[in-house]
Structure 1
Amino acid sequence: MKPWDIRTACERTGDEQTLTRLPSTSTSLIFAVLPEGVTRLLVMGPRTHAAYFPRKDSLLTVNAQFRPGWARTFTGVPVSELTDQVVPLGDLWGKEGDRLHDALIADPANAVGLIENALSERVTEDPSSALVHEATRWLSQERLPETARRLHVSERHLRTLFTGAVGVSPKRFVQLNRVRKVLSQVGTQKGAQLAIGSGYYDQSHMTAEFRATMGVPLSRYLAGDLPADSVC
C-alpha cells in the first residue's frame, strides 16, 4: 500500500459560496491551477482548527495526502514545523521541488502521474514511520500509556516521535479525530448519543471541544452560520 492517497484539497460545507477546510491530522502535497493561470505547488501541514473562506474555483487541484506517520519521510522536516502552515514545496525540496513544479506546469493533465513518480522516488524504509502509523491505529481505542506498552517503547519516546512525525501530539490527534467523527455521524445521531458514539465523556465535553476546534457551536455550524472568511 502506498503511504499516500490522492484526493481533493478542500472540503465544502455550509452555503454554496463558502468552503470549509476541516481540521485534520494529515499533511498533504497540493498542486493547483487557478483560472487566471497561476499555479501553486504547496505542502499543507496538519490543521488544528477549521478555516472558512470564499469559494475559489480552480481548473485543477491534486492533493497527495500522506498516511499518518509518513509525512516526514516526504517533507524532509519534522512535521511539527508544518503544523497550521502552508509552505511552497521548493522551500522543502529545493531545486527538486522547483523541477517538479516546472514539470507540472508543462503537463498539468499528467499531474497525478508526475506527483506519484516524484513521491515514489522518495520512499524509504523507515521503522519510526511504521511505528507511528501503528500508534495511530490504537490511540482511538486506548490511552497513550497503553499504546506505548503495546509498541514496546516508553510513553515519552512515543510522544516525541509521534509529534515529530504527525505534527500534533497524541492527545491533539485524538481530539481532532473526535471532532471529525462528530461531523461524519451528525446525520445519524444527535445529543448524548452522538457524543458517546464519537468518543466523548458526555455531551458538554463534545460541545466544548467542537466549538474550540471549529470556531462555532455544532448547531451554528450545521445551520451554515460560519465564522468570518479567512484566506485560503
Structure 2
Amino acid sequence: MTIPPAQLPSVTTDLTETTTPAPPSLRPWLTELGRIPANRNFAVPFAHIPWATTMIVLRTEQGHGSRDPLVLGPRTRASYATADKPLGCLRLRLAPGATGPVLGVGADDLTDRVVRLAELPGPAAGLAAELAELRHDELLPYLEKRLPRRIRESPTQRLHRTLLRTAVDTVSADPTGGTVPALAGALAVSERQLRNLFTAGIGVSPKHYTRIDRVRRVLAAAGTSSWSHLAAGAGYYDQSHMSAEFRSLMGVSPRSFVDGTRLPVLPCRPSRLG
C-alpha cells in the first residue's frame, strides 16, 4: 500500500544538517555554517520548523555550484515542502543583532520572508555573486577576509548585539526563566526596551522567541521520554500547555507530527522588500 505524502514520517531539515562554528573573527555577526545534503528521496516531505534567526542560504544542486543566495528571515511557524530534484543548501546563520550591520535592514523586515541577498542594502549584498560560486569549505575563509572590513557598526549596534546574546544565552540555559520580566531583569533594561531589541535585532518578540525555543526543544527530544516529561523539561506548565503551543507553531499536535500528519506543502518563493 502506498502511504499518502501527508502521512509519511516527518523529516526536519535540522536533523539532516551538519554545522561548522564560525571562526572568532566572524562571530560578532555569524554563529555557524550549516550544510544540508541533497535530498534524493523526493517522496518524503521536509518540515521547516520555526526558527528565530536570520540566515543567508545558498542552494546547491548536484553537479552545480551554489545559486542565487537568498536571505531567510525568522520563521514564526512551520512549513512543509518536497523536492523535485536533488537539492541541498548551505545556511549561514546570523548572530542576534547582526541583521542590521550585515544586511542593512532590521530583522523584523525579514520575518517570515525570503528575499534575494543581492537586493538588500547592507554590505553582504556586494558579496552575493562571489558567494554563489564558492564551495562550502571556501565560504568561511572567504568571509573572514571580506566581511569584517565591509561592516561599519555603531557603538549602539554593538551594545544591542551584546544584550541580545545575553538574552539568548539566558533562554538557552533555563527555558523556565525566559519570561519577559526575567529577561529584562537579566539585561538591566525595561520590558519595552527588551521588546524593541528583540523586534529589531532578532525579528520576533521575546515571548515568541521563547515559544520557538521551547517547541524546538520538544522536537529535539521527541521519542526519548514521555510527553509529560518533555513538557516539563522544555519549560511548559503541563502537557496541555505544550500541546497547545506546539499546535500553534507547527500546525498539528506533537503526537500527530511524530506520526507523520502535517499541513499541506507550500512552495518557497523569494519576495521583494517594500
TM-score (norm 2): 0.74
Matched residue, 2:61:
34
Distance 1:108 1:218 in 2: 37
Say whether 1:145 aligns with 2:173: no
Matched residue, 1:57:
86
Say whether 1:21 aligns with 2:57: no
Matched AA of 2:210 = V
CA contact (8 A) 1:27 1:43 kept: yes
- CA separation of 1:112 and 1:150: change in aligned 2, threshold 3 A: closer
The runs of 5 or more residues in structure 2 that have no matched partner are 1-23, 269-274
Shift of residue 118 of structure 1? 4.0
Distance 1:42 1:116 in 2: 20
CA contact (8 A) 1:33 1:40 kept: no
Matched residue, 2:97:
69
Quote the RMSD (CA, aligned, Å): 2.8
Distance 1:129 1:106 in 2: 30
Say whether 1:135 aligns with 2:163: no
Say whether 1:45 aligns with 2:81: no
Matched residue, 1:205:
241
CA contact (8 A) 2:163 2:187 kept: yes
Distance 2:142 2:57 in 1: 12
Picking from 110, 116, 119, the partner of 1:91 is 119
Question: 1:8 aligns to what SS in structure 2?
Answer: strand
Describe how 1:51-200 pairs up with structure 2 within 5 A.
51-55=79-83, 56-58=85-87, 61-93=89-121, 97=125, 99-108=126-135, 110-121=138-149, 122=151, 124=153, 126-139=158-171, 140=175, 141-200=177-236
Matched AA of 2:128 = H
- CA separation of 1:186 and 1:107: change in aligned 2, threshold 3 A: closer
Shift of residue 50 of structure 1? 0.8
Question: 1:25 aligns to what SS in structure 2?
Answer: coil
CA contact (8 A) 1:62 1:111 kept: no
Distance 2:201 2:209 in 1: 12
Shift of residue 96 of structure 1? 6.1
Paired residues in the alignment total 229
Shift of residue 17 of structure 1? 1.9
- CA separation of 1:186 and 1:201: change in aligned 2, threshold 3 A: same
Distance 1:68 1:103 in 2: 25
Matched AA of 1:131 = L
Shift of residue 116 of structure 1? 4.4
User: What percentage of aligned pairs have identical amino acids?
Assistant: 32
Distance 1:165 1:228 in 2: 31
TM-score (norm 1): 0.86
Picking from 242, 259, 270, the partner of 1:223 is 259
- CA separation of 1:85 and 1:36: change in aligned 2, threshold 3 A: farther
Distance 1:96 1:22 in 2: 26
Question: 1:93 aligns to what SS in structure 2?
Answer: coil
- CA separation of 1:105 and 1:191: change in aligned 2, threshold 3 A: closer
The runs of 5 or more residues in structure 1 that have no matched partner are none
Distance 1:151 1:222 in 2: 37
